[in-house]
Amino acid sequence: MTAVVWVCGIMLGAAGFLTTIHVIRSRNLADRAVGIDMLIAIVLNSLAVSIAFSQDDLFAALVLIIGLLAFLGSVTIARYIEERGP
Amino acid sequence: MSAVVDVVAAVLLLTGSGLALIAAIGLFRMPDTYSRIHVATKPATLAVVCTVGAALLRVPDLAPTSKLLLAVALQFWTAPVASHMVGRAAHSAGLRPDEPWVVDDLATIEGDAGFSAGEGGDADDR
């Protein structure tokens, strides 16, 4: 299980790195909103991998809360894009 | 029994992480914002289901199960809504894809003069 978690961590780290580069390099606000949404999804995946590795329910509530905050953030940015432009 | 559960959990973990990596590569491969919205929804739903399912298989207690199941259900409800809101806001703000639309229903709903692309769809009912 340790080797599997290492491989998962490397893949998720690479995904987070690529998404961060995309957020920095993107040209409009909608692209950044999509990238930040995906960064939060990667964080959720990392938390779930951490729960599966440690067999501890310390982060279970965190998955719930971060998922809801991701929804609120995306909707807020969407309203902002509608008013201001991309 | 425990070894089987561990193997299934490992496969689910690798599937979820691989989906996240593929989606991150897809952010660079896709040409415009709407395709990227389509890409970014995959790790928010399918990969989260895979990794949280592995966590559910591995955690022995029953107490965190309800929290994790509620997290998955809320993710399934909220992630498509958030993607839809971002896409609609991008359309309403005037963002256009690289290739022209095939069908643009939002333009007729919004009724804005700046959004009319010309032809009103391809109605070829033979």
pLDDT at B111: 60
**Is there a contact between B10 and A4 (Cβ–Cβ < 8 Å)?**
yes
ipTM of this complex:
0.89
**What's the pTM value of the predicted model, to 2 decimals?**
0.84
**Is there a contact between B67 and A63 (Cβ–Cβ < 8 Å)?**
yes
Q: Do B27 and A16 touch (CB under 8 A)?
A: no
Q: What is the mean pLDDT of each run of 10 residues along chain B (126 residues)?
A: 86 93 91 88 88 87 82 90 89 81 77 47 42
Crossing angle of helices B63-92/B48-58, nearest 10°? Answer: 170
Give how far B123 is from chain A: nearest CA, Å.
31
CA B82 vs CA A30, A42, B5, B85, B92: distances in Å: 12, 16, 34, 5, 15
End-to-end CA distance of chain B: give it in Å, rounded.
Answer: 59
Give how far B1 is from chain A: nearest CA, Å.
15
- Which tens digits make up the pLDDT trace of A26-68? 888 888 989 999 999 999 999 999 998 888 878 888 888 998 9
A14 neighbourhood in chain B, CB within 8 Å? 21, 24
| Closest alpha carbon to B42 in A59, A45, A68 | A45
From A45, A55, A77, residue closest to B43, measured CB to CB = A45
Question: Quick check: A75 contacting B, CB < 8 Å?
Answer: yes
